[in-house]
Chain A
């Protein structure tokens, strides 16, 4: 939906078709809202199940089954990965809205946990032969690469591409999206490869392919290499070296810094936020070839968004994190956890105001996005003050639709490339000429 809408909109000149624009935006928003209510219901179901299972009498298995998010995914698990999507790989979400890109990590990962649990809870109690079945392979690889989280990452990268002030180049866009998607698959696979015993012990992640022995670690690593190498090569050669370098750096940051750090220090959350912020920057550099203020602003917005999203998610997973040995703010520094979430909700307001200053959007953007950002800040404040399950869940669910909505509004308020060129001509033509030189 988002892709197609992007492609259609780039041909639109803002002035004459403003009304149609708004109509389309409104429709798209309705669709995504409906989808989010659907995801919300899935989350609530998953949460409820987790809750009721935790209340089971002790005679049952000690570690009753229930994350990304996260880690997240959901992990929407989202859920997973979240998260989703998963990276959530199967069932309902995939078949009904397979191409919907508006899922978040946790949504994906949690949703991932939902359907496999429903479908395979009986089979779970049986011994299974560790033989790779070829018809299962696509599903297994989808879960291994957290496909829904990857889809979200690709959509933020395409948002970065769309926001760049250059004429829309379809081939470049597709190559950048594909490269980013492959890089994300590789990073997620390596992450799962590293975390097998830990994933087994957490409700959110215990149905992952490596945990269940559906695929060997060797195959997981080979898959990661066969996604990562072509992905980065595609970005470096097919788009530009800067995007390729960013992609490779992001893979490194995620697998070699964030994943081990999760067990060593609470600073992992900040590293993880950078990991989430890089894809839109990659989208921007893919379009423009340079790292300008706009790219950093988009990255900044995604960086700030990660905190209310993840901190709220992790608030309810404290038991699993503590038992599994994960160093998360919500466990060791709960006050800091809530303060940081609130701080970054407020930062979003500031960053949105910065967008027109940097000539990325018109001044309508901070105006329209203010209610969105105020609402999430309000929920962030409630979370800060109340510090309970309901406020954290409200903040988390809000973050799921807040980001797509914000990016959507940003895109509709994007400063038209032609407008900027006119402005450049007004200023004596040098600006315009400089832009012409940049075009291929």
Chain B
């Protein structure tokens, strides 16, 4: 993002986590409240990034392993004569999806609780910051009008 920008910038989805990274703008006269908000958002972003990158990589890796083991059991190779990657049909993959979902259930439960907490905190902080800014602007307006 350009140096003169006074806003946050959001980028394209990450390769592993599919989440869009945000570069936060740090204003020179950042109040403690605003700093708390920014740090909360950064922390949430990092946490989300870690979780989803790990989940997605694990998913793809386990999917490959599953396909490989199933193909081996069927006596086939990973690539057929034409060099195309061999895949299993949806019904066979269904076993894997079911398995993956149940294996990761507890992880998801914990992540959900975590995410909801963070989301509410961040939004509440945003509200506080917006209110503080509005009050500051009103006070500035009154001062100017007074002058």
The reply to whether B56 and A194 contact each other, CB–CB distance below 8 Å, is no
The answer, yes or no, to whether A14 is at the interface (CB within 8 Å) is no
Within the complex, which residue of B90, B108, B122, B127 is in contact with A388, where a contact is CB–CB below 8 Å?
Answer: B90
A218 to B129, CA, bound (A): 11
Residue of B with least CB distance to A196: B119
The reply to whether A319 and B101 contact each other, CB–CB distance below 8 Å, is no
The answer, yes or no, to whether B94 is at the interface (CB within 8 Å) is yes
The reply to whether B52 and A221 contact each other, CB–CB distance below 8 Å, is no
The reply to whether A331 and B18 contact each other, CB–CB distance below 8 Å, is no
Q: What is the 8 Å Cβ interface bit string for chain A, positions 62-80, against chain B (1 contact, 0 not)?
A: 1100000000000000000
- Chain B CB within 10 Å — which of A58, A322, A327, A332 has the most? A322
Q: What is the 8 Å Cβ interface bit string for chain A, positions 379-413, against chain B (1 contact, 0 not)?
A: 00000000111000000000000000000000000
The reply to whether A323 and B12 contact each other, CB–CB distance below 8 Å, is no
Q: How many whole Å from A254's CB to the nearest CB in chain B?
A: 16
Hey, which chain A residues are within 8 Å of B104, CB to CB? 325
The reply to whether A129 and B108 contact each other, CB–CB distance below 8 Å, is no
Hey, which chain B residues are within 8 Å of A389, CB to CB? 90
The reply to whether A325 and B101 contact each other, CB–CB distance below 8 Å, is yes
Q: What is the 8 Å Cβ interface bit string for chain A, positions 99-140, against chain B (1 contact, 0 not)?
A: 000000000000000000000000011111111000000000
Number of residue pairs spanning A and B whose beta carbons lie under 8 angstroms apart? 124
The reply to whether A197 and B19 contact each other, CB–CB distance below 8 Å, is yes
Q: How many whole Å from B33's CB to the nearest CB in chain A?
A: 14
The reply to whether A213 and B112 contact each other, CB–CB distance below 8 Å, is no
Q: How many whole Å from A196's CB to the nearest CB in chain B?
A: 7
The answer, yes or no, to whether A216 is at the interface (CB within 8 Å) is yes
Taking CB atoms and an 8 Å cut-off, the chain A residues in 124-176 that contact chain B are 124-131
Within the complex, which residue of A127, A218, A316 is in contact with B9, where a contact is CB–CB below 8 Å?
Answer: A127
A420 to B74, CA, bound (A): 68
The reply to whether B12 and A201 contact each other, CB–CB distance below 8 Å, is no
Known: A62-B56, A325-B104. A130 touches B22 (CB 8 A): yes
The answer, yes or no, to whether A334 is at the interface (CB within 8 Å) is yes
The reply to whether B127 and A218 contact each other, CB–CB distance below 8 Å, is yes
The answer, yes or no, to whether A321 is at the interface (CB within 8 Å) is yes
Taking CB atoms and an 8 Å cut-off, the chain B residues in 122-138 that contact chain A are 122-123, 126-127, 130
Hey, which chain A residues are within 8 Å of B20, CB to CB? 200, 211-213
The answer, yes or no, to whether B68 is at the interface (CB within 8 Å) is no
The reply to whether A128 and B10 contact each other, CB–CB distance below 8 Å, is yes
The answer, yes or no, to whether B55 is at the interface (CB within 8 Å) is yes
Q: How many whole Å from B142's CB to the nearest CB in chain A?
A: 25
Hey, which chain B residues are within 8 Å of A193, CB to CB? 119, 123
The reply to whether B18 and A217 contact each other, CB–CB distance below 8 Å, is no
The reply to whether B13 and A130 contact each other, CB–CB distance below 8 Å, is no
The answer, yes or no, to whether B42 is at the interface (CB within 8 Å) is no
A325 to B107, CA, bound (A): 9
A260 to B112, CA, bound (A): 8
Residue of A with least CB distance to B49: A197
The reply to whether A264 and B12 contact each other, CB–CB distance below 8 Å, is no
Q: How many whole Å from A54's CB to the nearest CB in chain B?
A: 10
The reply to whether B59 and A323 contact each other, CB–CB distance below 8 Å, is yes
Known: A63-B56, A129-B5, A130-B7. A321 touches B97 (CB 8 A): yes
Hey, which chain B residues are within 8 Å of A206, CB to CB? 13, 18
A326 to B100, CA, bound (A): 11
The reply to whether A322 and B100 contact each other, CB–CB distance below 8 Å, is yes
Residue of B with least CB distance to A213: B10
Residue of B with least CB distance to A325: B108
The answer, yes or no, to whether B35 is at the interface (CB within 8 Å) is no
The reply to whether A201 and B56 contact each other, CB–CB distance below 8 Å, is yes
Q: How many whole Å from B116's CB to the nearest CB in chain A?
A: 7
The answer, yes or no, to whether B109 is at the interface (CB within 8 Å) is yes
Q: What is the 8 Å Cβ interface bit string for chain B, positions 92-128, against chain A (1 contact, 0 not)?
A: 0110111011101101110110011001001100110
Q: How many whole Å from A405's CB to the nearest CB in chain B?
A: 30
The answer, yes or no, to whether A318 is at the interface (CB within 8 Å) is yes
Residue of A with least CB distance to B99: A322
A197 to B17, CA, bound (A): 9
Can you list 14 pairs linking A and B with CB atoms under 8 Å apart? A63-B13, A127-B9, A127-B10, A128-B11, A129-B5, A130-B10, A200-B18, A200-B20, A212-B10, A221-B123, A263-B108, A318-B94, A322-B100, A389-B90
B-binding residues in A (CB < 8 A): 57-58, 61-63, 124-131, 193-194, 196-197, 200-201, 206, 211-213, 216-218, 221, 260, 263-264, 316, 318-319, 321-323, 325-327, 331-332, 334, 387-389
Q: A193-B119, A217-B122 are in contact. List 4 more A-B contacts (CB 8 A).
A: A62-B16, A127-B12, A201-B18, A206-B18
